Amino acid sequence: MDLFDGLPIPKSQDLNRDIGGERATSSSLAVEKFAAHAEAGQDAPGRKRKADSLEETSEEPALGSDKSANSPKLVLKGFSAEMQGERAAMEDRFCLMDIITDSRVTKHRDISSAAFYGVFDGHGGRRAADFAADSFLNFFLSNFLSRGGATSTDLDSAVSTCMTATYKTLDANFLAKCIKQKPAWKDGTTATTLLILNGHTAFISNVGDSQAILCRYDAVTAEHRPIVLTVEHSAARYEERIRIQQQGGRVKDDRIEGILEVSRSIGDLPYKKGMGLISTPAVRKCSLTSDDKFIVVACDGLWKSLTPTEVIHFVLSHIKDATDEDIDAKFSSACSGLAREAVKRLTGDNVTVLLVRISSDRQ
């Protein structure tokens, strides 16, 4: 029997399509996929939900120009909400840092500010999510310093390389802890992280099925539209199934060995040797503009209940007619409301939501 017998043939291999499943059309969005997938090859587009596509380009200006007068001066403020569904325990963790003051990143001549946001959706226990949330940023900053990122003239490449190394370092360190236990820990976690430099250059990285979306105003249609920033890593995806089987794993019922739904994660010791589960992240860069309203980062519990379009409309309805005095309160209410709505609608899963408000420094 051929290795790929029984696999569905992808409907399209059109690389102009992106995560959301629609052809890229927006010329105003600069998004770049970094070649950070040495273990798995380049991520191909998925089809889980429809959302606006991202145009990929290699014509992004060097980050050394980001401090110029022409760059938008944006202010970020994050809000968080957690809600336990029908699960016996809450296994999600998150990180929210609107301002990073650590000199390992801020001393770079081309970095005037840095912010970090992350969602870690644990499974099989919360120890992997705890470890990731407590260690991720420190591992990244240490990698950034030790690999010369603080003095690099190619900041894009330095951040991408260090972000990929951080996921692998995090995974290796946690697996080492797991092996030492009697019996060995089996906990795992997804991870979606958002590093924003100078207020407008976002690096989005992820393993697993947690997701990040950007709400952008389209002046042509006079509508706000969701842009999916992450890549879904599921054993149900055609490209991931092929990779898993090539690396010795087996996909049954759209799960690795019929059990694990995600195809990339931190931890999950039983599936990390010869079964196709890896910790190599998808790493992307996106330039934020004054047309952007907010970013939502959330575990799959939210996206099982609401589509990206429903999510941005939910938030927009909450912040409609907000004033300078109550805008933060309305964003906070929208964030909490998203978590409640997800649990109320469909999901028995836990739900964690980060909502990052984007505004100009004049607001």
How do residues 268-312 score in pLDDT, each as one tens digit? 999 998 999 999 999 999 999 999 999 999 999 999 999 999 999
How do residues 229-251 score in pLDDT, each as one tens digit? 999 999 999 999 999 999 999 99
- Between CA 190 and CA 27 the distance in angstroms is 31
Confidence of residue 88 (pLDDT cuts 50, 70, 90): low
- Between CA 345 and CA 17 the distance in angstroms is 30
How do residues 156-214 score in pLDDT, each as one tens digit? 999 999 999 999 999 999 999 999 999 999 999 999 999 999 999 999 999 999 999 99
Domain 31-360 belongs in CATH node 3.60.40.10:
yes
What percent of the chain stands above pLDDT 90?
68
Torsion of Cα atoms, 251 then 254 then 258 then 260, to 10° = 100
Residue 347's SS3 state is coil
What percent of the chain stands above pLDDT 70?
78
Name residue, tokens 């599921």: 234
Backbone CA torsion sign across 260, 263, 268, 271: positive
- Between CA 215 and CA 218 the distance in angstroms is 10
Asked if residue 320 has pLDDT above 60, the reply is yes
For 196, residues 6+ apart whose C-beta sits below 8 A from its C-beta are: 76, 114, 115, 116, 117, 202, 203, 288
Asked if residue 131 has pLDDT above 50, the reply is yes
Q: Using alpha carbons only, what angle is made at residue 20 by residues 238 and 47, rounded to the nearest 5 degrees?
A: 25
- Between CA 213 and CA 117 the distance in angstroms is 13
The answer to whether 203 and 195 have CB atoms below 8 angstroms apart is yes
Q: Hey, where are the domains in the chain?
A: 31-360
Asked if residue 40 has pLDDT above 80, the reply is no
DSSP bridge pairs for 263 = none
Return the pLDDT at 54.
44
